[in-house]
Structure 1
């Protein structure tokens, strides 16, 4: 694949950025099916949030081109091959992961309308409607903005200059892979869809990981790449579920139960499969302290904010206190990872638990220092649910720099979930 030539030709608007409704993370489709079954009448609003305000997206990205890309996504529907893959493939050892009623709905889906407005040097981009329809905009919107930003930075480069750039970036990825090869017991997947440099680049990174790491590479979160490259689709659930369930809670008592109601519905949805806890939405420590006993029997936990080693230690202690053997549990690290941190965490926890890594932005978007003014450095762009049935959503996280929601509601949630002082940590991506 000559990525440099393809990027060069993008100047003539060859190739849409998002080519498929399954060019998304696997957990999105799993959550979508759960929402389709359990919360089909919930109305939500998703909104783009650029946490890296120093990146002026509205100056870099042409509004007309952004609209063209978003309009193209609205024209997409599942192809016959994509539907066959979702209906008939085996995921996590289970056939027919996606039920016939969900698939019938998904096969007829067109994404709902969007609202786009320029506000200063940023864009206001929002999506409103039924939860199970609107939620599928998230990954596509991020992919479009991230790749249009990349194109804006690269647009004045010649073909030869682009070839050198991508050769250097490929060398960087391969050097990382060579370092990862030597890590005993490594289990690592691509989690880089959300803030990738571009689809072609993510696809190349997955192929490089598969060739360079062999069985240590366990798969990709991207459904389209998983299907095309015949690798495992990886993912379970995300913060979106507890954020919206909590927003729907009628009072403080219901709010305190909401994160566990999510997992109860998830357990019923998947008949005991995909049992990975994501505990940090309102603070890991409090979540585990108040968790019902049946959650201790789940397969593992994903650490996605705060100090990853501290989070894993909390989980190990919790399992031990609940009479579970941490060596039989899986800890998935997925926040801001690069090779040094992966190696460090593997050394610290290998043998104490089953360690896995979901490697994201610094796999699929590490162009740091490769263009003038570091114009391709990754930045923190998210698209989050900001309201449900007219009520604001809140996320606290184990890193208060990732918190979101109205100040009064953040204070209420901290009180309900007994969140004390937290360590502020830089948000890498």
Structure 2
């Protein structure tokens, strides 16, 4: 596990250290969703776009657009290798083999391609858009976000001497160790790496994941990064994300169909997957309305992930809802995944202990916490809240309301329409960290 990160950073050559080394270098849920899309929506046309919610950070003036284009083009040249496909076919995921169909894996090998893209700088920000079949665009999300974040990192690294790089990484390693040391003594803890999209760099994420596995042992549930799971024999973690109900809602013709789209998605998902993969993400249009109006069979799903609501509130709400539907919360799983760090992970674990199974999906502040580590005292290594979201499906604009007013996305008139249909109950207004 000994990697001289400072020396590698000092001597960076992008051909030696491409940001994306494999098409598996993505969140596991993207592969699960890709198979779902390939199976149910192979002809849907979509577009995705990158948005920087940390508007004070003018990424278009920090990241070299030429270098970003080289990295994106390099990803488009990648193909799944035979050994990667064999691993996907034969490995056990969530206790089961055969999650990926042989026809899907054949398609990955022979026909999968990434769409083209449009890249420019507008008003100091990166403008990056992907158009094409949904099967061609969906995978760009993680590749694009990890490329932009790492190029931002590399731009800041170039300003440091080799000694300063040593200090930077020594401080970051110390901070990581102190976090792991606090978690190591927490009984029955379960925490996983969810940090690919906003990582400091691939090498740092790999270092962090191996350190977590070595230090936390069974408390470390695995990683959402499929390539690191493949490379280091770890559990691949992930289920689904917001783009699925967003697309189905955009395809709806009436207000009634729009309201029902969030449940239609779950019905299609449970026709495709089962067991531990039945984790709902109810906050696309607001968690409170989702639970209130959900068909009773939704309560039979394995668990819930909270991504934009205060996880204490979201977990308590889920437990109360399960009880009201006659289900035992202790048999269910609650996953928190929004801007977590050590204090909150420990606090949530204690809060839900004995009431529901709890797991933490630790993202940005696991794989990109270099705050106050820069020996030059600047904030160039602070993480930014950058997203790549579905914005059109078959020519219609998509909307994400979220449980946080500040995370709502979509054309203003469509956001207002969705808010009239879904309501505002349980929606808060809090700062977006990452």
Q: Same fold (TM over 0.5)?
A: yes
Are the aligned partners of 1:147 and 1:198 in contact in 2 as well (CA < 8 Å)? yes
* 2:410 alignment partner in structure 1: 405
Are the aligned partners of 1:11 and 1:155 in contact in 2 as well (CA < 8 Å)? no
Deviation of residue 333 (structure 1)?
Answer: 0.5
SS for the counterpart of 1:46 is strand
Q: Greater shift after overlay, 216-225 or 409-418? A: 409-418
1:25-77 Cα deviation digits (max 9, x unpaired):
00000001001000111100000000001111111111111111111011000
Within 2, Cα distance between the matches of 1:375 and 1:11? 21
1:259-278 Cα deviation digits (max 9, x unpaired):
11111111000145511111
Q: Aligned to 2:420, which of 391, 412, 415?
A: 415
Within 1, Cα distance between the matches of 2:280 and 2:8? 40
Within 2, Cα distance between the matches of 1:326 and 1:158? 53
The aligned length equals 429
* 1:361 alignment partner in structure 2: 364
* 2:215 alignment partner in structure 1: 212
Within 2, Cα distance between the matches of 1:126 and 1:32? 19
Within 1, Cα distance between the matches of 2:226 and 2:406? 30
Within 1, Cα distance between the matches of 2:185 and 2:154? 35
Q: Aligned to 1:57, which of 56, 59, 64?
A: 59
Within 1, Cα distance between the matches of 2:41 and 2:276? 20
SS for the counterpart of 1:55 is coil
Distance 1:421 1:279, change over 3 A: closer
Are the aligned partners of 2:289 and 2:425 in contact in 1 as well (CA < 8 Å)? no
* 1:270 to 2:277 alignment: no
* 1:221 to 2:251 alignment: no
Within 2, Cα distance between the matches of 1:340 and 1:271? 33
For 1:28-177, list aligned pairs within 5 A: 28-108=30-110, 109-177=112-180
- The CA RMSD measured in Å over matched residues stands at 1.1
Are the aligned partners of 1:396 and 1:402 in contact in 2 as well (CA < 8 Å)? yes
Distance 1:316 1:271, change over 3 A: closer
TM-score normalised by structure 1 residue count: 0.98
Within 2, Cα distance between the matches of 1:36 and 1:362? 33
1:285-342 Cα deviation digits (max 9, x unpaired):
1000110110101111101112111111110010000000111111001001000011
Within 2, Cα distance between the matches of 1:301 and 1:71? 36
Deviation of residue 82 (structure 1)?
Answer: 0.8
Q: Aligned to 2:378, which of 373, 378, 382?
A: 373
Distance 1:302 1:271, change over 3 A: closer
* 2:19 alignment partner in structure 1: 17
Within 1, Cα distance between the matches of 2:348 and 2:113? 42
For 1:169-208, list aligned pairs within 5 A: 169-208=172-211
* 1:249 alignment partner in structure 2: 252
Are the aligned partners of 1:76 and 1:110 in contact in 2 as well (CA < 8 Å)? no
The runs of 4+ residues in structure 1 deviating greater than 4 Å are: none
Are the aligned partners of 2:199 and 2:205 in contact in 1 as well (CA < 8 Å)? yes
Are the aligned partners of 2:288 and 2:425 in contact in 1 as well (CA < 8 Å)? no
Within 2, Cα distance between the matches of 1:244 and 1:384? 11
Distance 1:122 1:265, change over 3 A: same
* 1:383 alignment partner in structure 2: 388
* 1:300 to 2:303 alignment: yes
Within 1, Cα distance between the matches of 2:391 and 2:331? 37
Within 1, Cα distance between the matches of 2:273 and 2:57? 40
Deviation of residue 418 (structure 1)?
Answer: 2.2
Deviation of residue 3 (structure 1)?
Answer: 1.3
Q: Aligned to 2:336, which of 310, 315, 333?
A: 333
Within 1, Cα distance between the matches of 2:231 and 2:346? 30
SS for the counterpart of 2:390 is strand
Deviation of residue 110 (structure 1)?
Answer: 2.7
